[in-house]
A = this chain, B = another copy of it.
Amino acid sequence: MNKPIVISVDAMGGDNSPKKIIDGIELYQQKNINIFYKLFGDKNLIEKSLKNKKIDNQSYEIIHTDDYVKDEDSALAAAKRGKNTSMWLSIESVKNKTSDIVLSAGNTGALFVIAKLNLKMIENIDKPALSGLWPNKIGMNIVLDLGANIECNEKNLKDFCIMGAALHKSLYPNETSKVALLNIGSEEIKGNNVIKNTYQELSKFNSPLFEFKGYVEGNNIMCGDVNVIIADGFTGNIALKTAEGTANFITSELKKALTG
């Protein structure tokens, strides 16, 4: 058997932790073997959640700490809680190369700041981005940035294209990554200056990683013509949350109609 992938898990992150975190691991374990979990957090609570779970006790270790980042902490306040929070320790474990990946469902702002303090950026990439999967008619889009960077310049947007295409390629190795900039029109002349300049840059940029497909409008995000969609964090967040609100609205109206 190959060397297992080691995943650091901030077991205390987010609502209903560590229960939901352990539930998630149980679910994931059913289909994915050869993974070792380092669980950072309150040992008593984690052990309680692990009881009666179908999780092989050789597949994890618990690293106890009393401290954890709270959801309502500002990013700065979270960093100031020091180096013994479950979030800090789990990230540090990647830095120390004792694990390959870190997962946290906790405070996003804190995760960004503490990760940036501990782990270096990839060379030539200036800003981290939040990305997500967003369904389209034939598969999945990668969309970024979803809210980490309110204002972005041309270099940032170009970086996001490369980062997004790389993520897409690693998740869907058999698909062609088709990158587009989220904009308010499909013609070259539409949009603000940063978007127009980025379009020009990308038109000249020959990447072996992706095909540049120009602009995509909000109503075509889910068409499937492109699968990596790039925006600054403000625009991406507005789009994501508006889609979420619209889906919730339709679902609840539908339920109302069907139940009379």
Interface residues of A (CB under 8 A from B): 135-137, 147, 150-151, 182, 184, 191-192, 217-223, 231, 233-235, 237-252
Contacts and interface: CB of A to CB of B under 8 A. Distances in A.
Contacts of A233: 184
Determine chain A's interface SS by DSSP, over half rule. Answer: helix
Nearest to A74: B189
A237 B218 contact: yes
Contacts of A241: 184, 217-219
Contact of A222 (B217, B222, B240, B249): B249
Contacts of A135: 249
A131 to B, nearest CB: 16
A239 B237 contact: no
Contacts of A222: 245-246, 248-249
Contacts of A150: 184, 191-192
Given A150-B184, A184-B150, A234-B235, A221 B247 contact: no
17 contacts: A135-B249, A137-B249, A137-B252, A147-B184, A150-B184, A150-B191, A182-B238, A184-B237, A218-B241, A218-B244, A222-B245, A235-B235, A238-B242, A239-B242, A242-B246, A246-B246, A246-B247
B191 A218 contact: no
Given A191-B150, A192-B150, A184 B247 contact: no
Nearest to A217: B241
Contacts of A237: 184, 218
Nearest to A195: B234
Contacts of A246: 222, 242-243, 246-247, 250
A184 B234 contact: yes
Contacts of A235: 234-235, 238
A220 B48 CA distance: 37
